[in-house]
């Protein structure tokens, strides 16, 4: 049983990687093989050392109820030759106390349960069992299934709302020293959200989707608040990219590629990656980039001649790039690979930065080919674009 204090912000235990926020193999209970598998026999189960999560006991108990309830209803209908409400009344007179005991026991457990994955799995077990009895055209347990769902849904929603409020109200400064690696809270959210999304995909529920949407918004805001604790924009971006990438990786293990959660973090990761690429290019190549953007803006207005007296600036940019670009690219590549925890993501960022660099240099070429600058002697010192692309490929990391 988990206490109220267990939330996204409790420190992860070193003893076990399994928490109430991870699905692990628990979702297998919804597979047809396990859903309708043999029930647990208490005295046999007690002989072993196995421990069972609540949803496993719940599944076993309710599969026994489903099987015996259907048989009992059919026997009563045949033996007493009753049908419709008469058959239901007879069934309830025999099984009513048992069903009431089940509900009372479940109400006691649920009232003190903070394991939302267990509650959600139980909801989906009931949804499937209800479908089985409907397929068998046995109405005997319909009201019981509804009563169970009326117990479980509010509790599940309440736990989700508690997590939403806990994230909304947290203060990043109380979480200790931060570094740019993925934070345990964002990993915990990603594991939890991917668990709920993957279960919910089978029997979609709009209320669950809405709550997950609220949770995602709060987590996005929380990550931004944590990033703001870093003094430099560069470190803020590294932190954001590392956390978005980690959350996306965890979500994509279970959630569909077109889920709102996956699409949302893909967009955030792309936007911050593009910003980071501009950030790391600005230090070694900022002068050239600024000139290209300024000249392109003037070209659109037909005012490029306003830069015709900038020969000294252009000469410095051409020669500066030619003499330092290799060292700058090497240093940039090493810095990126040290900054990102996901090697593949770091490699992708380097490739994106080198591609962007070539595009800027291509733009630099085009500008100096304009009539305004054709007479500049320094144009002969420009690096051939094809040669630059061949050389840049040597700096792309292989994996």
Q: Which of 145-159, 189-203, 354-368 has the lowest mean pLDDT?
A: 189-203
Per-residue pLDDT for 227 more than 90? yes
Give the whole-angstrom CA distance, residue 281 versus residue 18: 42
Class of residue 123 by CB neighbours under 10 A (exposed 0-12, middle 13-18, buried 19+)? buried
Q: Tell the residue number behind the tokens 């490739």, with chain if given.
A: 351
Nearest-angstrom CA–CA distance, 361 and 233: 25
Residue 109 pLDDT = 93
* Strands (E) located in 208-328: none
Instruction: Check pLDDT > 50 for residue 13.
Output: no
pLDDT tier at 15, thresholds 50, 70, 90: very low
Q: Which residues does 176 contact at the CB level (< 8 Å), separation at least 6?
A: none
Q: What integer is the mean pLDDT of 275-291?
A: 96
Encoding tokens for residue 137? 């055209």
- Give the pLDDT mean for 61-74: 96
Question: Which of 7-21, 87-101, 307-321, 354-368 is least confident?
Answer: 7-21
Residue 310's closest CA among 369, 367, 373, 361?
Answer: 373
Q: Which residues contact 182 (CB under 8 A, 6 or more apart)?
A: 242, 243, 245, 246, 247, 341
State the residue for tokens 């805001």: 221
Residue 272 · residue 244 · CB < 8 Å: yes
Which one-letter DSSP state was computed for residue 13? P
Over range 215-225, report the average pLDDT: 94
What is d(CA 143, CA 146) in angstroms, rounded to the nearest whole number?
5
Who's near 338: CB < 8 A, 6+ residues apart? none
Q: Which tokens sit at 50?
A: 């196995």
Question: Is residue 145 over pLDDT 80?
Answer: yes
- Given a cut of 90, whether residue 398 has pLDDT beyond it is no
| Residue 10 clears pLDDT 60, i.e. is over it | no
pLDDT of residue 6: 47
Compare 136 and 15 and report the one with higher pLDDT.
Answer: 136
DSSP assignment string, 38-98: PPP-HHHHHHS-----HHHHHHHHHHHHHHHHHHHHHHHHHHTT--HHHHHHHHHHHHHHH
């Amino acid at each position: 049983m988990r206490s109220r204090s267990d939330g996204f912000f409790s420190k992860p235990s070193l003893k076990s990687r399994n928490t109430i926020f991870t699905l692990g193999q628990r979702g297998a209970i919804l597979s047809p093989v396990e859903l309708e598998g043999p029930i647990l026999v208490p005295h046999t189960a007690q002989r072993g050392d196995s421990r069972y999560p609540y949803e496993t006991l719940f599944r076993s108990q309710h599969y026994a109820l489903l099987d015996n309830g259907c048989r009992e209803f059919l026997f009563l209908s045949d033996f007493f030759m009753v049908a419709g409400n008469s058959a239901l009344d007879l069934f309830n007179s025999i099984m009513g106390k048992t069903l009431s005991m089940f509900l009372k026991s479940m109400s006691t457990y649920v009232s003190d349960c903070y394991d939302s994955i267990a509650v959600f799995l139980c909801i989906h077990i009931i949804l499937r069992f209800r479908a089985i009895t409907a397929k068998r055209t046995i109405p005997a347990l319909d009201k019981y299934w509804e009563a169970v769902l009326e117990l479980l849904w509010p509790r599940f929603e309440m736990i989700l709302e508690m997590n939403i409020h806990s994230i909304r109200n947290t203060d990043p400064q109380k979480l200790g020293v931060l570094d740019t690696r993925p934070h345990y809270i964002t990993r915990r959210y990603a594991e939890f959200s991917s668990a709920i999304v993957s279960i919910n995909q089978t029997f979609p529920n709009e209320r669950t989707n809405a709550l997950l949407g609220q949770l995602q918004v709060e987590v996005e805001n929380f990550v931004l608040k944590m990033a703001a604790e870093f003094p430099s924009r560069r470190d803020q971006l590294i932190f954001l990219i590392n956390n978005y990438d980690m959350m996306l990786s965890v979500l994509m293990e279970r959630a569909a590629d077109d889920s709102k959660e996956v699409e949302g973090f893909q967009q955030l990761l792309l936007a911050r990656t593009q910003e980071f690429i501009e950030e790391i290019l600005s230090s070694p190549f900022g002068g050239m980039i600024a000139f290209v953007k300024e000249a392109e803006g003037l070209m659109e207005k037909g005012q490029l001649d306003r830069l015709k007296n900038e020969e000294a600036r252009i000469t410095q940019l051409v020669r500066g790039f030619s003499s330092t670009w290799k060292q700058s690219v090497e240093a940039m590549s090493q810095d990126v690979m040290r900054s990102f925890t996901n090697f593949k993501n770091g490699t992708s960022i380097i490739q994106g930065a080198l591609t962007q660099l070539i595009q800027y240099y291509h733009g630099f070429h085009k500008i100096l080919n304009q009539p305004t600058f054709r007479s500049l002697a320094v144009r002969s010192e420009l690096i051939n674009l094809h040669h630059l692309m061949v050389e840049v490929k040597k700096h792309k990391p292989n994996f």
